[in-house]
Amino acid sequence: MAARPAGPRLTGLGSGVLCAAVMFAVACLDLLLFGGSPVVYGVLFLPVSVLTALWVRRGDLLTAPVVVPIGFAVGVLPVAEGDGGILGTVMGLVTALATQAGWLYGGTLLAGVTALVRRATLARRTAAARRTALVRGVRRVGGAGAMRGARERTARGGRTTA
C-alpha cells in the first residue's frame, strides 16, 4: 500500500484561510525585501497554490481552485499601490489584480490540475480496492457486516463471489 503524502489535511475553509494568510505574509515580506515587486509575489504564489491543493482533504478537493484566487486577492493588498483612502486602495487592488492576471490564472490552473490529479488517483485506488474486495467475496469495501456475511457463506459451502 502506498504511503500518504506528508502534510496537513485541511478543510476547504481552512485551506482558504491558510492560503490567504501565507500570501499576505509573502506580500509583506516582498514589500520589505523587494519594495513590493509584483513578479516576486506572483512567482511565490505558484508553490503556495500547489501546496494548498496538496493539503486540502479528500472531500474538499474541488475547493482548491476556488480558494487560491481569493488568497491571491487578499495577499496582494500590501503590494497594491494606492493613493490612500478606501477608494485609492480599491483602485490599487483592482489594478494589481488586472496587471497580475497571468500569475493568478497560472496559480489557479496549477491548483486545479493538482486537485484533479489527486482526485483521479483517489478514484483509481477506490476502484482497485473494490475490485480486490469483490475478488475476495466481499460485496462492499469496509464494514464488518460484509466480512461476516462472506465468512458465513464460506462456512455453509456457498459461493463467496458476487
Give the confidence band of 24 by pLDDT, cuts at 50, 70, 90: very high
| Per-residue pLDDT at 147 exceeds 60 | no
Ranges 25-34, 79-88, 148-157, most confident: 25-34
Exposed e or buried b per residue across 45-76, where buried means at least 16 C-beta atoms within 10 angstroms of its C-beta: beebbbbbbbbbeeebbebbbbbbbebbbbbb
Query: Where is average pLDDT lowest: 24-28, 87-91, 106-110?
Result: 87-91
| Per-residue pLDDT at 71 exceeds 50 | yes
For residues 52 and 159, which has the higher predicted lDDT (pLDDT)? 52
| Per-residue pLDDT at 32 exceeds 80 | yes
Q: Residue 125 is placed in which grid cell?
A: 485506488
Name the nearest CA neighbour of 138 among 148, 150, 155: 150
Specify the pLDDT at position 162: 47
pLDDT over 70 for what percent of the chain?
Answer: 80
- Find out whether 87 and 96 touch, Cβ atoms under 8 Å: no
| Per-residue pLDDT at 2 exceeds 60 | no
Phi, psi of 106 (to 5 degrees): -60, -45
Q: How far apart are CA 115 and CA 13, in angstroms?
A: 15
Q: Residue 119 is placed in which grid cell?
A: 482526485
The strand pairing partners of 56, in sequence order, are 10
